[in-house]
């Protein structure tokens, strides 16, 4: 590997649509086309928004393979292949590499709370698959945080580590990472895409792009062009939706909004539940200026 893959811009953490308890592949195919037509620059299946914890191993592999085939190299596919088992994460990553994924999204090992040296060794083992890795730092979901120094060590010593999805919610952490090394930083929170760009961030793995890919792409294009005034204006236009989509745990609200827009069923897998009905009027009112809500 002579040059690190560049992963940046408007990337979508795509939902996994269900119908009658099964993965709805026809709708998933439609959503992939919707993203590409909307200008999304990379597609990330089987992440948090894709409800990966509720997918069986067979479904996980199949969803990734389906998205890769449907995308057909038009944009990069960053496959969510993380696990709290290093062996399972390595297996998922090797399978994604063999299927043609361009990179993988590697969430911190959750629940077992390893030390920093354990997380370094975890990523080093996964890198044996020779697939570019986007680290995913989200302590609110995993109970463990990658330290900036550990991220820098991974970037400097593991050539396949190319980027980090920074979702700690801390601008200080984004600054610490940028100070420690030259890894590509992308926001893991829509509302922090612009603030993180101020310290060198290069885009977002977006939830909102599931329903408004063009709008998120516009924000990222303004940032890439260095047009701060236009980026600020777009950020403020989208900010109410950035917040509304987290009125309950992701992906509950975004799936509800997508169902209102006719993009997919409002079906999740337990222990996720459909959104509290009392929140529906707020969601419709927030999204209506941008997309026709049923």
**Average per-residue pLDDT for the chain:** 96
Under CATH, what is the fold of the domain 9-214? Answer: TIM Barrel (3.20.20)
The angle subtended at Cα 104 by Cα 102 and Cα 107, nearest 5°, is: 165
pLDDT band at residue 293, thresholds of 50, 70 and 90?
confident
pLDDT digit string (tens) for 72-113?
999 999 999 999 999 999 999 999 999 999 999 999 999 999
Instruction: Yes or no: say if 81 and 96 are a contact pair by the CB < 8 Å rule.
Output: yes
Choice among 2-11, 91-100, 154-163, 181-190 with the minimum mean pLDDT: 2-11
Look at strands 184-187 and 133-137 and give their pairing: unpaired
Q: Is the pLDDT of residue 119 over 90?
A: yes
Percent of the chain at pLDDT > 70 equals 99
Within a 10 A sphere around the Cβ of 39, how many other Cβ atoms? 18
User: For residue 111, how far is the Cα from the chain centroid?
Assistant: 20
Q: Is the pLDDT of residue 170 over 70?
A: yes
Task: Please give the structure tokens belonging to residue 54.
Answer: 């509720």
**113 belongs to the catalytic site:** no
Instruction: Yes or no: say if 107 and 141 are a contact pair by the CB < 8 Å rule.
Output: yes
pLDDT band at residue 291, thresholds of 50, 70 and 90?
confident
Within a 10 A sphere around the Cβ of 3, how many other Cβ atoms? 7
Find the mean pLDDT for residues 184-189.
98
CA atoms within a 13 Å half-sphere pointing along the CA-CB vector of 223: 27
pLDDT digit string (tens) for 61-75?
999 999 999 999 999
Q: Is the pLDDT of residue 4 over 90?
A: no
d(C-alpha 133, C-alpha 79), whole Å: 9
Give 162's contacts (C-beta < 8 A, 6+ positions apart): 4, 5, 6, 7, 103, 132, 133, 134, 183, 184
Among 34, 70, 155, 165, the active-site one is 165
Instruction: Yes or no: say if 135 and 109 are a contact pair by the CB < 8 Å rule.
Output: no
Q: Helix (H) and strand (E) counts for the chain?
A: 12, 10
d(C-alpha 10, C-alpha 210), whole Å: 11
Percent of the chain at pLDDT > 90 equals 94
Q: Is the pLDDT of residue 1 over 70?
A: no
**136 belongs to the catalytic site:** yes
pLDDT band at residue 114, thresholds of 50, 70 and 90?
very high
| CA neighbor of 105 nearest in space, from 73, 142, 72, 69 | 142
Among 34, 136, 155, 160, the active-site one is 136
Indicate the pTM of the whole model: 0.96
Q: Which residues of 257-286 are buried (b: 16+ CB within 10 A; e: fewer)?
A: bbbbbebbeebbeeebeebeeeebeebbeb
């Amino acid at each position: 590997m002579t040059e690190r893959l560049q992963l940046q811009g408007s990337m979508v953490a795509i939902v996994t649509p269900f119908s009658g308890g099964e993965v709805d592949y026809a709708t998933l195919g439609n959503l992939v086309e919707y993203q590409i037509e909307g200008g999304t620059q990379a597609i990330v299946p089987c992440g948090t928004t894709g409800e990966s914890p509720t997918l069986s191993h067979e479904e996980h592999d199949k969803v990734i393979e389906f998205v890769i085939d449907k995308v057909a190299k038009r944009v990069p596919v960053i496959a969510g292949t993380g696990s709290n088992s290093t062996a399972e994460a390595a297996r998922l990553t090797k399978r994604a590499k063999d299927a043609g994924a361009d990179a993988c999204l590697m969430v911190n090992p959750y629940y077992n709370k390893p030390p920093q040296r354990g997380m370094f060794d975890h990523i080093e083992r996964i890198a044996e698959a020779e697939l570019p890795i986007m680290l995913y730092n989200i302590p609110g979901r995993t109970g463990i945080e990658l330290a900036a120094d550990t991220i820098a060590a991974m970037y400097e010593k593991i050539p396949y580590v190319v980027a980090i999805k920074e979702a700690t919610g801390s601008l200080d952490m984004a600054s610490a990472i940028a100070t420690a090394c030259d890894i590509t930083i992308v926001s893991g929170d829509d509302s922090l895409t612009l603030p993180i760009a101020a310290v060198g961030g290069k885009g977002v793995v977006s939830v909102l792009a599931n329903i408004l890919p063009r709008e998120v792409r516009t924000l990222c294009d303004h940032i890439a062009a260095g047009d701060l005034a236009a980026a600020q204006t777009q950020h403020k236009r989208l900010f109410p939706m950035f917040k509304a989509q987290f009125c309950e745990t992701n992906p509950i609200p975004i799936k509800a909004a997508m169902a209102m827009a006719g993009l997919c069923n409002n079906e999740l897998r337990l222990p996720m539940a459909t959104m509290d009905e009392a929140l529906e009027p707020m969601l419709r009112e927030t999204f209506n200026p941008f997309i026709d809500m049923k």
